[in-house]
A = this chain, B = another copy of it.
Amino acid sequence: MKHDSFNESAEMYLKTVSELAVNEGPVPISALAGRLGVSTVSATEMVHRLQDHGLVEHQPYKGICLTECGYRQASEVIRSHRLWERFLADDLGLAWDEVHSLACRLEHATDPKVTEALDAYLGYPATCPHGNPIPRHHSTPSEPEDCPLTELRPGDSAVITRVHPESDELLEYLADLELVTGTYVSLFEVVPFNGPLVFKERERTVYLGLEAAALVFCKPVEEA
């Protein structure tokens, strides 16, 4: 049973499966391939390799699930990723929408010893700068109680809590719109026929497409 710390590629597959699996149920290989930017054939090959190593289970025409062991490895990578994001943003002062891709390289080069020490150094933060929880051993990952922006009704107000799943383009786009975690927004209207959500916020009007809004989570705020 060699469970060697795996290489970058395999780690990205595991991490991605874990991220896509939050919407419950097995992840189709095509979704994996899409997110990783490889062909479905390549993804299939890799998934089979991972299956041979007991990290993943593939039910043809259904999708893939992480095994216990695969889940542990994915969590370790995600943990390291989010801790690095915190460090890069909070301590090194790098930009909110840059730290994701910077951490995505570091996460594969990080020994567990470093992860542990970093966690302590940062004071055991609860979330990454984009609001996603930092996995810890012994702690069951409690489901966050926020909802996507798309569930708001016109007139509702909310604070942005989380972006998931994270991607460079999305984070960059949100940063441009100044819709980062902690931002207070109130929904003005939803343009019909799958149009964007329109937010009004002190003098400012922001249009956010449905696709993006579905990935941004918030916690409603009582009206004053």
Residues of A within 8 A of B (CB): 88, 91-94, 98, 102, 105-106, 108-111, 113-114, 117-118, 120-121
Q: A92: which of B92, B98, B114 is its contact (CB, 8 Å)?
A: B114
For A105, the closest partner residue in chain B by CB is B109
Instruction: Give the complex CA separation of A158 and B137 in angstroms.
Output: 47
For A107, the closest partner residue in chain B by CB is B109
Q: Are the CB atoms of A117 and B105 closer together than 8 Å?
A: no
Query: Which has the most chain B C-beta neighbours within 10 Å: A88, A93, A109, A118?
Result: A109
Number of copies: 2
Q: List 10 A-B contacts (CB under 8 A).
A: A88-B114, A92-B120, A92-B121, A93-B117, A102-B111, A105-B109, A105-B110, A106-B106, A106-B109, A108-B109
User: Which 10 A-B pairs give the minimum distances between C-beta atoms?
Assistant: A92-B117, A109-B109, A105-B109, A106-B109, A102-B111, A92-B121, A102-B114, A94-B117, A91-B121, A92-B118
Q: Are the CB atoms of A106 and B117 closer together than 8 Å?
A: no
Which residues of chain B are within 8 angstroms of A117 by Cβ–Cβ distance? 88, 92-94
Q: Are the CB atoms of B109 and A113 closer together than 8 Å?
A: no
Cβ of A106 to closest chain B Cβ, rounded Å: 5
For A104, the closest partner residue in chain B by CB is B109
Which residues of chain B are within 8 angstroms of A114 by Cβ–Cβ distance? 88, 92, 94, 102, 106
For A106, the closest partner residue in chain B by CB is B109
Which residues of chain B are within 8 angstroms of A92 by Cβ–Cβ distance? 114, 117-118, 120-121
For A92, the closest partner residue in chain B by CB is B117
Which residues of chain B are within 8 angstroms of A93 by Cβ–Cβ distance? 117
Q: Are the CB atoms of A98 and B110 closer together than 8 Å?
A: no
Instruction: Give the complex CA separation of A91 and B92 in angstroms.
Output: 13
Which residues of chain B are within 8 angstroms of A121 by Cβ–Cβ distance? 91-92
For A114, the closest partner residue in chain B by CB is B102
Instruction: Give the complex CA separation of A106 and B113 in angstroms.
Output: 13
Instruction: Give the complex CA separation of A108 and B114 in angstroms.
Output: 16
Q: A102: which of B98, B102, B113, B120 is its contact (CB, 8 Å)?
A: B113
For A118, the closest partner residue in chain B by CB is B92
Q: Are the CB atoms of B94 and A113 closer together than 8 Å?
A: yes
Instruction: Give the complex CA separation of A139 and B224 in angstroms.
Output: 59
